[in-house]
């Protein structure tokens, strides 16, 4: 594409967020109260759907840590989240109890796991789901100290007294500050991620500066343009 055309056009970029708060809000905004009401087990649906959005936010946000996050750059996307939500609703409607093993297998081995090619990365997905999808998500959600902890200092709220909008407010008020511990990573992982981000930023600035200087430089005078006295 010609550079002159690119310079005269309006550029629009849609970049996925890297922090867990933005990823969680973005994931939760894909649904609404009607999504919860469409399931016959509303309490289970609320708790499991919120945990699913948290899981999606974690696996997407983990990419910013480079190879400390994932061995490869996997294309986890909103489509995976929406399909898993549909599967969740169908399985809750079709079973008397929450089929935890089935949900973990479908989410970790088929939907999100379908992107994963590394055995260690697949193990990470499995461990996340073992923590986020278990009976304590429902039975322990009483609004007390025994609630299931999705991350350090961030518990899954009791779904009995929460509406869809209440969950949104809960994210704004209760989510701790961004830290690698929310992803299950060591605090030093943040140092390497920031260092690599700064290096990439300055390399891009240097590259753009080189193009701008060459384009704005005056053309050299040629022998044919010179005038004789």
CB atoms within 10 A of CB 18: 16
Residues present in the chain in total: 229
Q: Which of the given ranges, 6-10, 170-174, 203-207, has the highest pLDDT on average?
A: 170-174
DSSP codes joined into one string, 51-103: HHHHHHHHHHHGGGGGGGT-SS-----HHHHHHHHHHHHHHHHH-SS--HHHH
Read off the pLDDT of residues 181-199 as tens digits, 9 standing for 90 and up.
Answer: 888 888 887 777 777 778 7
Structural tokens at position 170: 């809960």
Is 176:161 a contact under the CB 8 Å cutoff?
Answer: no
Q: How many angstroms separate the CA atoms of 47 and 36, rounded?
A: 10
The predicted model scores a pTM of 0.79
Residue-wise pLDDT tens digits, 21-79? 999 999 999 999 999 999 999 999 999 999 999 999 999 989 888 888 898 889 899 99
């Amino acid at each position: 594409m010609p550079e002159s055309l690119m310079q005269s056009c309006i550029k629009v970029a849609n970049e996925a967020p890297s922090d867990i708060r933005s990823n969680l809000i973005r994931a939760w905004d894909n649904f609404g109260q009607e999504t919860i009401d469409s399931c016959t087990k509303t309490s289970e649906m609320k708790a499991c759907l919120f945990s699913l959005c948290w899981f999606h936010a974690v696996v997407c946000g983990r990419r910013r840590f480079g190879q400390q996050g994932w061995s490869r750059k996997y294309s986890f996307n909103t489509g995976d989240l929406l399909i898993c939500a549909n599967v969740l609703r169908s399985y809750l409607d079709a079973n008397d109890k929450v089929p935890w093993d089935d949900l973990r297998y479908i989410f970790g081995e088929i939907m999100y796991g379908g992107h994963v090619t590394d055995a260690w990365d697949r193990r990470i997905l499995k461990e996340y789901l073992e923590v986020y999808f278990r009976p304590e998500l429902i039975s322990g959600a009483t609004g007390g100290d025994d609630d299931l902890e999705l991350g350090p200092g961030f518990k899954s709220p009791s779904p009995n007294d929460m509406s869809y909008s209440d969950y949104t407010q809960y994210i704004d008020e209760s989510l701790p500050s961004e830290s690698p511990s929310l992803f299950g990573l060591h605090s030093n992982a943040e140092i390497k991620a920031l260092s690599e981000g700064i290096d990439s930023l300055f390399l891009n600035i240097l590259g753009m500066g080189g193009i701008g200087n060459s384009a704005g430089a005056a053309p050299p005078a040629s022998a044919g343009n010179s005038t004789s006295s």
